[in-house]
Amino acid sequence: MSELRQDLATGDWVIIAPERLKGKSLQSKTNPPMTDRPAFEPSCPFCPANEERFPHVEVDCIAHPDAEAGSRWLVWGIENKYKIFKHHDSGPEGLAAFERDGPYARVIGQGAHELVIESPLHNRTFATMSPGEVEAVVAMYLRRFRALKQIPGSLLTIMFKNHGLRSGASQPHSHSQILSCRVVPNHLRYMLEEGTRYFDTNGVCVFCRMIEFELSDGSRVVYQNERFVAYAPFAQPTPYEVHIFPKVHDSLFEDMSDEEAADFADCLRATMKKLYVALSNPDFNLILRNPPHHLARVPFYHWHLRVVPHLCGAGGFERGSRMTVNLVVPEDTARELREATAD
Ligand SMILES: [Zn+2]
Ligand SMILES: [Zn+2]
């Protein structure tokens, strides 16, 4: 028997239908461990030894603590060569108005598009990094976030990461992407509206309410430390999806203190290690859900990170109905991940 579950934050319905999995495998193919890959790849544009062959525009860099490591950087911030949005000079007036083409709106793709190269080693990923290495990546995320926010007229900073072919990754060397963008996507506006409505009705942030319940219930918690929790959402849209939240209300990712950043890095590393172990180095996306800049420090939105493994593709039902069918039970995935090692 399938079950429909509603996401409290978005109003979206998800169909949990584990019987559809019977006789089939959730993962059609698993990846070999990262250690099977070479630590250096001669054709990789992000391996430090290839820097002269593939020059990049550096925007930031965290120096490598080991002078003998063969890389001057531990984490590297560069401009993306293939930008979705180009750097722009919008001038003191900010952004230009949209152009009109009959009834349609159009605007030049202004913003910024940068990459964070997370390790000098070609075969490293969060799951195989040391705690200190993940902390350095988080420090770079925060530095670039705070820098891109200063771009005049930027409305939203977007951050995501692709790992593996099914996630859309084109380069296997581990990296994240940060974009500054001058429009706010509808799904985010919708979540902000739902959050506002919930706050106006109940006087509390909808995410704080869910976090409080998940911590007391425990059945969907995957990992937690003092300041962060990772749990499988009640209406888990895709198998083994995990969301990472600060436990105390905080609307903005980039407002984190050093102590919070250390706990976030710990929660991220542990979650990624558990998925890596339980699902054999799965393809995945990380998607940050941060509000647009003009809605900073609001009581009705709570930043979080979606961790979305890619085990099986969406079918026609999902594409047609815009509802997702999850072939596993969220509580089962949380139990499996809780029991997987994070060491
Ligand atoms: Zn590489
Ligand atoms: Zn909250």
Centre of ligand 1 from the C-alpha of residue 71, in Å: 12
Complete domains list, the chain, with CATH:
3-23+45-86+107-339 (3.30.428.10)
The confidence band for 165, taking pLDDT boundaries of 50, 70 and 90, is confident
- Report pLDDT digits (tens) over 67-102: 999 999 999 999 998 888 776 555 445 666 788 999
Q: What is the pLDDT of residue 95?
A: 66
Instruction: Assess contact for 284 and 307: CB atoms under 8 A.
Output: yes
Centre of ligand 2 from the C-alpha of residue 209, in Å: 7
Residue 230 to residue 245: CA distance in whole angstroms: 6
Residue 112 to residue 182: CA distance in whole angstroms: 10
Statement: residue 50 has pLDDT above 70: yes
Q: How far does the chain reach from its first CA to its final CA, in angstroms?
A: 37
Q: What is the pLDDT of residue 279?
A: 96
Q: Is the dihedral of CA 238, 298, 300, 269 positive or negative?
A: positive
Centre of ligand 1 from the C-alpha of residue 163, in Å: 13
Instruction: Assess contact for 207 and 251: CB atoms under 8 A.
Output: no
The confidence band for 310, taking pLDDT boundaries of 50, 70 and 90, is very high
Instruction: Assess contact for 253 and 288: CB atoms under 8 A.
Output: yes
Out of 81-85, 292-296, 339-343, pick the least confident. 81-85
Ligand nearest to the CA of 298: 2
Pick from 75-84, 136-145, 149-158 the range whose average pLDDT is largest: 136-145
Ligand nearest to the CA of 121: 1
Ligand nearest to the CA of 291: 2
Q: Which residues contact 204 (CB under 8 A, 6 or more apart)?
A: 198
- Report pLDDT digits (tens) over 225-239: 999 999 999 999 999
